[in-house]
Amino acid sequence: MALAVDASRFEGVPMAPPDPILGVSEAFKADTSDLKLNLGVGAYRTEELQPAVLNVVKKAEKLMLEKGENKEYLPIEGFAAFNKATADLLLGADNPVIKQGRVATLQSLSGTGSLRLAAAFIQRYFPDAKVLISSPTWGNHKNIFNDARVPWSEYRYYDPKTVGLDFEGMIADIQAAPEGSFVLLHGCAHNPTGIDPTPEQWEKLADVIEEKKHMPFFDVAYQGFASGSLDEDASSVRLFVKRGLEVFVAQSYSKNLGLYAERIGAINVICSAPEVADRVKSQLKRLARPMYSNPPIHGAKIVANVVGDPTMFGEWKEEMEQMAGRIKNVRQKLYDSLTEKDQSGKDWSFILSQIGMFSFTGLNRPQSDNMTDKWHIYMTKDGRISLAGLNLAKCEYLADAIIDSFHNVN
């Protein structure tokens, strides 16, 4: 029998570039240095820099095992108890929009899947609309809208001169955008900068978005994890909803419950009337069906069990406060180490004004390369570091690396 010698039908398929975030972890694993530190991936670590499973998650899983529940398919919209719990957590259980039936909620595949489902909805029902994305933003946002064939542009956000928020530029760009644009906003703990608008600035943003008839689209990946308070971290979303605006909100439980591998999240659309919410939900279900048919059950039941049991819910809030507290302690220690070691007089206070898992160091690409090549510290090339991968014992070493890279690398 003759062997086939024809060229592969896949000759025209090029090699994809490595993922800029997940590639950091691969490089870290290959490094044999004892000094190496992985500050690239946004996943919580203990003070011993080990992955953690929350105690309340273990309790919820034990309860599920004892009940001996089956593995039947969920409906397309997901687990009903989860959908109720996630909308209540986001908006507050007593929020009028919930009581009036004006919220369309679909369980989806964590934050990424929820964003992707919403992007498909925008592409189908708002084909002429553009999405405005902060500069910079989470690396996957652009991938999601590109893949859904939704056009996007950037609005100013980060000011490299102050390592803070360029609020005037942000407002100007949102005002200049075509009427009816979708404005993607980070609900709290902006990724990658860790810089959030103040309450007064959120009010001004709401004014402009309402005036321009834009659609606010929140990505809420860190509710409860940023400040330690579920309500405080949802205040930006609730502000827009209270004004009567229609709002998209994507949620994830990867960070606040540590359910990274469970891919549990939701897309919520707050609508002007119950009948509108019904229509929106029906079309979200229609879009989800050919994508993944129905979502996984395990993570949904964990969230529903934790939120539905007052004792476990209280324990979860305590564990969230502990996680957020550890990040705050590391942030303070890093600032103290930088100010003590750096004799140049540089102001490092921006470290303390940022919030959440990440810190934007202000380091450029060559300086970030120096962090890796010389100091074995792995991070994204935009200067973002994940404080979740840092402990108190390593803060001084990190401060030495940052000071060297900032002052000695152009």
Q: What is the pLDDT of residue 26?
A: 87
Structural domains of the chain, ranges and CATH numbers in brackets: 21-52+318-408 (3.90.1150.10), 73-308 (3.40.640.10)
Record the pTM.
Answer: 0.94
Q: What is the pLDDT of residue 320?
A: 94
Which are the contacts of 370, defined by CB distance < 8 A and separation ≥ 6? Answer: 404, 405, 408, 409
Catalytic residue set: 138, 219, 255
pLDDT in tens, the chain (410 residues): 556 667 899 999 999 988 877 788 889 999 999 999 999 988 999 999 999 999 999 999 999 999 988 899 999 999 999 999 999 999 999 999 999 999 999 999 999 999 999 999 999 999 999 999 999 999 899 999 999 999 999 999 999 999 999 999 999 999 999 999 999 999 999 999 999 999 999 999 999 999 999 999 999 999 999 999 999 999 999 999 999 999 999 999 999 999 999 999 999 999 999 999 999 999 999 999 999 999 999 999 999 999 999 999 999 999 999 999 999 999 999 999 999 999 999 999 999 999 999 999 999 999 999 999 999 999 999 999 999 999 999 999 999 999 999 999 98
Q: What is the pLDDT of residue 24?
A: 87
